[in-house]
Amino acid sequence: MSSDEVLIEESDGVAVITINRPSARNAVNGAVARGLAAALDALDTRSDISAYVLTGAGGTFCAGMDLKAFLAGDFPVIEGRGFGGIAESPPKKPLIAAVEGYALAGGFELALSCDLIVASSESKFGLPEPKRGLVAGAGGIMRLPRRIPYHVAMEIALTGDHYPASRLYELGLVNRITSPGEALAGALELARKIAANAPLALAATKKVIIESVDWPLEEMFTKQGPIINPVFGSKDAMEGAAAFAEKRAPEWRGE
């Protein structure tokens, strides 16, 4: 699954996905988008991988879309998945962003496509598209006001300025702040805690949290049922109960 532009490393049920264009501050071109989409499509079918960490090589998360490639006609959008192969269709499994340096424009939008964000104290976020005559159309201006207060989201989106991770931590957008250079380690610590849990339960939990945002109150449990009921009848559910009774660690199979 690895390519020159997208690297994959696996351990302890976690896959680390690295955008590998440090000389371009990990700006997303077509090759990165295709690599991320292919990696997530493959990993989502694996029962031995329960969580992902998305990061960037060379001390920067992602500076957004590669504007030089864009001018040359290389548009980093994958049909059915959107910008970067993620924005319109994030993976079924939990995805954590490990942010060092800059997460700007499409880079911020990739982070917003993740379920959790771990960021270095020196990292900065922003949606500078209006400064370039563009719009943050990869989910930024739709997801941001759902995650933080309306007026703050408006300030970030309309000014195009950079905002420190500490400010976004105060607003609840960033889960954890680490020392410089430690964002990946912090994200891996969180990912391993998640990956220790049953994979079917994790996927169902994520699906309900995301989809239930606009469910009518009177339909919530009806809509939840088809998603979570198969989990209760799974082999992993039986294994979890048996492991608890026998005072041992469970051995999940994703079945």
| Residues making up the chain, counted from first to last | 255
Contact at 8 Å (CB) between 13 and 196? yes
Please give the C-alpha separations between residue 190 and each of 28, 148, 150, 245, 255, in angstroms, as whole numbers.
26, 22, 28, 26, 24
Q: Give the residue numbers marked as catalytic.
A: 109, 129
The torsion region of residue 80 among left (phi > 0), alpha (psi -120 to 50) and beta comes to left
Q: Residue 175, Cβ neighbours under 10 Å: how many?
A: 17
CA-to-CA distance for 83 and 89, rounded, in angstroms?
9
Distance CA 159, CA 128 (A): 7
Contact present, 55 and 187 (Cβ < 8 Å): yes
